[in-house]
Homo-oligomer: A and B are copies of this chain.
Amino acid sequence: MEFSSKLLENAVNEMSQLPGIGKRTALRLMLHLLRQPKEQTSDLSKALSNMRNDIKLCKNCNNISDNDLCEICANPNRLEDIVCVVEDIRDVMAIENTSSFRGLYHVLGGKISPMDGIGPNDLNIQPLVKKVKSGKITELIFALGSTMEGDTTNFYIYKQIQEFKVKTSTIARGISVGNELEYTDEVTLGRSIINRIPFEASLKS
């Protein structure tokens, strides 16, 4: 691509470094910005640099936050002894939306994935082990995605904390609410039969 303007070329190049945005899309976005009032671009530009420079990670759970402690960890009404282990802030947001969890989170910042060169030391695992060791946690809920990487990460953490005799659980895998059996894949359906729950318990949830 040959540009008639270095300024435009530079902006397109920077924008197309974002995942999923190619040069053509970036050019389309830049032409859109050029048609809009200057304020929109300056607002975007400021919001980006403010976010990157001023954002913090919660000292306790490693979640993205504006303060040293995130709103969830700072909330005195949350149960401090139940900790839900998640990959990133998107999972925290997804679980918070369900309003079915009253404990705290622990954000790993990723999953163990040798294919992507991510090992246990690249993740926020040691602080979690320390937390468990301190004895303040009664239950650890593994809430990573149901993938090979998620299962590996669960198992690695489990091995690290096994000796401390904390109760561990993992979120249930089974058929989605509203789904028909015939459209569910066999692994999921098989697991949902093996991990069946008492009918009385199902009435409560």
Chain A count of residues within 8 A CB distance of the other chain = 58
Once A28-B19, A29-B19, A40-B17 are accepted as A-B contacts, the answer to whether A4 and B63 lie under 8 Å apart by CB is yes
Nearest B residue to A30, CB-CB: B51
Residue A204 lies at the interface, judged by CB distance under 8 Å to chain B: no
| Copies assembled | 2
Let me know if B18 and A66 touch, CB within 8 A. no
Let me know if A66 and B7 touch, CB within 8 A. yes
Complex alpha-carbon distance, A44 and B26, angstroms: 12
Once A4-B92, A18-B32, A66-B5 are accepted as A-B contacts, the answer to whether A48 and B51 lie under 8 Å apart by CB is no
CB distance from A8 to the nearest CB of B (A): 6
Complex alpha-carbon distance, A14 and B36, angstroms: 13
Complex alpha-carbon distance, A116 and B53, angstroms: 39
Interface positions, chain A 16-64, Cβ under 8 Å from B, are 17-21, 25, 27-34, 38, 40-55, 63-64
CB distance from A121 to the nearest CB of B (A): 16
Let me know if B65 and A5 touch, CB within 8 A. yes
Residue A89 lies at the interface, judged by CB distance under 8 Å to chain B: yes
Complex alpha-carbon distance, A90 and B7, angstroms: 15
Let me know if A55 and B5 touch, CB within 8 A. yes
> Beyond the given A14-B48, A38-B53, could you list 19 further A-B residue pairs with CB under 8 A, ordered by the A residue number?
A2-B93, A4-B70, A4-B72, A5-B55, A5-B66, A10-B50, A11-B48, A11-B51, A14-B40, A14-B43, A14-B47, A15-B44, A18-B33, A19-B32, A33-B51, A34-B51, A34-B55, A45-B45, A45-B48
